[in-house]
Chain A
Amino acid sequence: MADLTTDAQIKAILESPEHKESLLYLINKLPELTDALQMLEDKTAFVRHVLSDKSSLSALADEAEDKWNSLQLSGEHASAILALTHKLPLLVESLEKAEEAASFVKQVVTDKQSLAYLAGSLKELPLVQEGTDILAETNLRYRNEQPYSKISIMRIFKLLKNPALVSGFRYFETLLEVVHKHAKNNKGA
């Protein structure tokens, strides 16, 4: 049997305008609240059914395990992932630099004016320039020479004394010696 004092207190509270208003609101919202409760009940029931469906859970677990095993991951991999995570800031910095370098190369090779400038610059390099000058002068003198002028023995001897030719002969001689030595070593092996 309820305590009379408590009943009176509840009655007094329910008669207050604020509580009357709240009750009215709840009664108005009752259909929506019921729907929400029903939905929650359905979800809970679904989870309960799934958890009790051992064959489905077992299939899922087997599939996940198979995939995990196929990765052949070991403790070393876990350590490597940790190490990699630690190095990520440095790696990102390096990757950014590599990306910038690749973008720069791409810019250069697609920039026709820069390529033309580089090609022009190469021709003006001192060594290339010197080589070009020598060839140009050689071609000019060769063209101006008498086409059928005789080549005497004396002329050949004179040519053989030319320091450039002597140096060339010596280089060729050394080259033959090195080739011979390597061929001999290969046979021995």
Chain B
Amino acid sequence: MDFTHHAKVAIIGAGSAGVSIAARLIRSAPHLKDQIVIIDPSSKHYYQPLWTLVGGGAAKLEDSVREQADFIPDGVNWIQDAVTEIRPDDNRLLTRSSGAIAYDYLVVAAGLQIYWDKVPGLKESIGKNGVCSNYSPEYVQSTWDNIRNFKGGTAIFTQPSTQVKCGGAPQKIMYLADDYFRKSGVRAKSRVVFASGLPNIFAVKRYADTLDQVVERKKIDTKFRVELIGIDGEGRKATFQNLDTKETLSLHYDMIHVTPPMGPFPFIASSPLADKDGWVDVDKHTLQHNKYPNVFGAGDCSNLPTSKTGAAIRKQAPTVAANLLSLMNGKEPKAHYDGYTSCPLVTGYNKLVLAEFDYDKNPAESFPIDQSQERVSMYLMKRNLLPIMYWNGMLRGLM
């Protein structure tokens, strides 16, 4: 194939990580003007953390979407296409319809793939028969429709055992739904079930303690280490498998919010950049690839042992930008990422626990208050300020 492009730096993905890193590179090294390409097929850019509130009827979907073109930094060239293959031994990428791209340095920030078809019956039922999900702009509105039209019965909220974007999100929508059921007077005749493939409500004890109290207060029926393995939309039945005993269990539902299984994109999993699970194999502190030194990885597609969140990317982006520039200047990559991640755990309308922690699950809180408590102030920050900070700060390489 003829090489149609050459870039000093190629960035796969124009999501939170890709755009932030591109913005930081061009701000710190203006001489890279027109030498950075970012490859992404999507014409829209979504602020996905808002979808919990959209599904809960507390925000509008249109506030979570902007034109991608408005956020590609000046001096960076956008190739609106999908990468189909990565050949790091040749420093080449192949795209679906724009030919090949030769690069000197590569940043992989492609995000992750949602596998709707891994749960039999899910793809056919989603958006109807009481089946909804916050994990797509196409279906998120169906969550709010189900919640506000719920007349009582069983409401199930699932979380798979796979890694997902924002590990706390599957339970946030449940707390909002519970709140709404109480307001609409149907909670007394309802059963709310949290069916999770994980062993506990949250991995960090400090926040898990608070969430356990929330679950108890809200009288939520929790089932851990169970995986959703099938949905019968018309029969309104969900089948789960116990991950330890392998026993199956069928539950009737009146509404079910599904957090679908997620995993790496096939073009990454099949490339030499992938680890055994298919994620981009990077050093957890420098974010440099463990085998190819001119390759970096960030965001959901990487194998960093931390929760996959936008807040984590906010700290990963400056590390990648600084280390990449050091490498270009013949220096050692010294910027260090400590695994920081954050999960704003909405526990109801106007209530939120702001979890922040590092690789070792040590709290890394930003505010001089006890963030393990449910707070209105933190909810207002998530609802009103974080979107502004995302669009105008993070994506511009400013915070």
| Contact indicator A118/B398 (Cβ below 8 Å) | no
Q: A117-B63, A126-B376 are in contact. Are A104 and B392 (CB under 8 A)?
A: yes
Indicate whether B308 reaches chain A with its CB closer than 8 angstroms: no
Q: A114-B388, A118-B384, A126-B376 are in contact. Are A107 and B63 (CB under 8 A)?
A: no
Selected contact of A108 from candidates B66, B380, B383, B392, CB within 8 Å = B392
Q: How far is the CB of B25 from chain A (nearest CB, A)?
A: 15
Indicate whether B202 reaches chain A with its CB closer than 8 angstroms: no
| Contact indicator A103/B398 (Cβ below 8 Å) | yes
Q: Which residues of chain B are within 8 angstroms of A108 by Cβ–Cβ distance?
A: 388, 392
Indicate whether A121 reaches chain B with its CB closer than 8 angstroms: yes
Selected contact of B350 from candidates A100, A107, A122, A126, CB within 8 Å = A126
Q: Which residues of chain B are within 8 angstroms of A52 by Cβ–Cβ distance?
A: none
Interface size on B, residues (CB 8 A): 16
| Contact indicator B380/A114 (Cβ below 8 Å) | no
| Contact indicator B399/A104 (Cβ below 8 Å) | yes
Q: Which residues of chain B are within 8 angstroms of A104 by Cβ–Cβ distance?
A: 389, 392-393, 396, 398-399
Complex alpha-carbon distance, A104 and B350, angstroms: 27
Q: Which residues of chain A are within 8 angstroms of B384 by Cβ–Cβ distance?
A: 117-118, 121-122, 125
Complex alpha-carbon distance, A122 and B388, angstroms: 13
Q: Which residues of chain A are within 8 angstroms of B393 by Cβ–Cβ distance?
A: 104, 107
Q: Which residues of chain B are within 8 angstroms of A114 by Cβ–Cβ distance?
A: 387-388, 391-392
Indicate whether A137 reaches chain B with its CB closer than 8 angstroms: no
Indicate whether A113 reaches chain B with its CB closer than 8 angstroms: yes
Interface size on A, residues (CB 8 A): 15
| Contact indicator A103/B396 (Cβ below 8 Å) | yes
Complex alpha-carbon distance, A53 and B4, angstroms: 67
Q: Which residues of chain A are within 8 angstroms of B66 by Cβ–Cβ distance?
A: 113
Q: Residue on B with the closest CB to A116?
A: B63
| Contact indicator A111/B391 (Cβ below 8 Å) | yes
Q: A118-B384, A121-B383 are in contact. Are A107 and B396 (CB under 8 A)?
A: yes
| Contact indicator B396/A125 (Cβ below 8 Å) | no
Q: Which residues of chain B are within 8 angstroms of A118 by Cβ–Cβ distance?
A: 384, 388
Q: Which residues of chain B are within 8 angstroms of A107 by Cβ–Cβ distance?
A: 391-393, 396, 398
Q: Which residues of chain B are within 8 angstroms of A122 by Cβ–Cβ distance?
A: 384
Q: A117-B63, A126-B350, A126-B376 are in contact. Are A111 and B392 (CB under 8 A)?
A: yes
| Contact indicator A117/B388 (Cβ below 8 Å) | yes
Complex alpha-carbon distance, A92 and B398, angstroms: 16
Q: Which residues of chain A are within 8 angstroms of B396 by Cβ–Cβ distance?
A: 103-104, 107
Considering only residues 348-399 of chain B, those with a C-beta below 8 Å from chain A are: 350, 376, 380, 383-384, 387-389, 391-393, 396, 398-399
Q: Which residues of chain A are within 8 angstroms of B392 by Cβ–Cβ distance?
A: 104, 107-108, 111, 114
Q: A107-B393, A117-B63 are in contact. Are A100 and B398 (CB under 8 A)?
A: yes
Q: Residue on B with the closest CB to A105?
A: B392
Q: A107-B393, A126-B350, A126-B376 are in contact. Are A100 and B399 (CB under 8 A)?
A: yes
B positions within 8 Å CB-CB of A: 63, 66, 350, 376, 380, 383-384, 387-389, 391-393, 396, 398-399
Known contacts A107-B391, A114-B392, A121-B383; can you find 18 more A-B pairs with CB under 8 A? A103-B396, A104-B392, A104-B398, A104-B399, A107-B392, A107-B393, A111-B392, A113-B63, A113-B66, A113-B391, A114-B391, A117-B63, A117-B384, A117-B387, A118-B384, A121-B384, A122-B384, A125-B384
A-B pairs with beta carbons under 8 Å apart, 26 shown: A100-B398, A100-B399, A101-B398, A103-B396, A104-B392, A104-B398, A104-B399, A107-B391, A107-B392, A107-B393, A107-B396, A107-B398, A111-B391, A111-B392, A113-B66, A113-B391, A114-B387, A114-B391, A117-B63, A117-B384, A117-B387, A117-B388, A118-B388, A121-B384, A126-B350, A126-B376
The 4 closest A-B pairs by CB, nearest first: A107-B392, A121-B384, A100-B398, A108-B392
